[in-house]
Amino acid sequence: MQENRLELFEEQVADELSQRALLALERYFAAHKEQLAELFVQSFEQLCLYFGERQQEGLQGKLGHITYSLLRTELLAGSPLYMAEATDRTWYMDENSCYGSYDASWAFRDLAGLEKQLLAEARGYFSDSEAALQAEAVRLRTAVQAHRYVISLIRYAMPEAAKLKAYRELEKEVECEVRVGEYMDQSETVYKEDFHQKEAAEVRAYLEQKQELSYTYEVFAELDLARGNYAGIQALYSDFRGSDLSHSSFEGAALVGAKLSLSKLTQASFRYTLLCEADFRGSELQGADFSYCSGPSGMRDPFEWEHPGFVPLRFNGADLSGADFTLANVKGASFIGANLDGAIFEQANIEQALFSASARSQAAFSEEQLAQAIWIEEDGGA
- Report whether pLDDT(1) > 60: no
pLDDT at position 76 is: 78
Could you give the count of Cα atoms lying within 13 Å of 372 in the half-sphere of its Cβ? 17
pTM: 0.93
Bridge partners (DSSP) of residue 376 are 356
Could you give the count of Cα atoms lying within 13 Å of 341 in the half-sphere of its Cβ? 5
Instruction: Give the residue among 66, 98, 53 at the shortest CA–CA distance from 173.
Output: 66
How far apart, in whole angstroms, are the C-alpha atoms of residue 29 and residue 110? 13
pLDDT at position 357 is: 95
Supply the mean pLDDT for the chain.
Answer: 93
Residue 382: band (very low, low, confident or very high) from pLDDT cuts 50, 70, 90: low
Q: What does the radius of gyration of the chain's CA atoms come to, in whole angstroms?
A: 23
By the 8 A CB rule, do 292 and 312 touch? no
pLDDT at position 320 is: 99
Average of pLDDT values for 212-235? 96
Residue type at position 168? R
Q: Is 69 helix (H, G, I), strand (E, B) or coil?
A: strand
Torsion of Cα atoms, 179 then 236 then 234 then 87, to 10°: -20
Using the Cα atoms of residue 38, residue 43, residue 49 and residue 51 in order, give the sign of their dihedral.
negative
pLDDT at position 63 is: 96
Ramachandran angles phi, psi of 233, nearest 5°: -70, 145
List, for residues 130-183, the tens digit of each pLDDT value: 888 888 889 889 999 999 999 999 999 999 999 999 999 999 999 999 999 998
List, for residues 365-380, the tens digit of each pLDDT value: 999 999 999 999 876 5
Percentage of the chain beyond pLDDT 70 is 97
pLDDT at position 2 is: 57
Task: Using DSSP bridges, classify how beta strands 187-194 and 81-87 pair: parallel, antiparallel or unpaired.
Answer: unpaired
pLDDT at position 123 is: 85
List, for residues 35-72, the tens digit of each pLDDT value: 999 999 999 999 999 999 999 999 999 999 999 999 98
By the 8 A CB rule, do 19 and 305 touch? yes
Higher pLDDT among residues 379 and 255, named by residue: 255
Average of pLDDT values for 108-117? 88
pLDDT at position 3 is: 63
Burial of 11 (C-beta count, 10 Å sphere; 0-12/13-18/19+): exposed
pLDDT at position 125 is: 82
Which residues 6+ apart lie within 8 Å of 265 measured at CB?
Answer: 245, 246, 248, 280, 283, 284, 285, 288
Ramachandran angles phi, psi of 31, nearest 5°: -85, -25
List, for residues 237-248, the tens digit of each pLDDT value: 999 999 999 999
pLDDT at position 8 is: 85
Query: Which DSSP category does 325 fall into?
Result: -
By the 8 A CB rule, do 107 and 80 touch? yes
pLDDT at position 121 is: 83
pLDDT at position 38 is: 98
Query: Which DSSP category does 91 fall into?
Result: G
Burial of 91 (C-beta count, 10 Å sphere; 0-12/13-18/19+): middle
List, for residues 2-17, the tens digit of each pLDDT value: 568 888 888 888 899 9
Q: Is 116 helix (H, G, I), strand (E, B) or coil?
A: helix
Sequence length of the chain is 382
Percentage of the chain beyond pLDDT 90 is 78
Average of pLDDT values for 204-230? 96
Query: For the chain, how long is the longest CA-to-CA vector?
Result: 68
pLDDT at position 381 is: 54
**Domain parsing of the chain, residue ranges:** 2-188, 197-382
Average of pLDDT values for 202-206? 98
By the 8 A CB rule, do 217 and 189 touch? yes
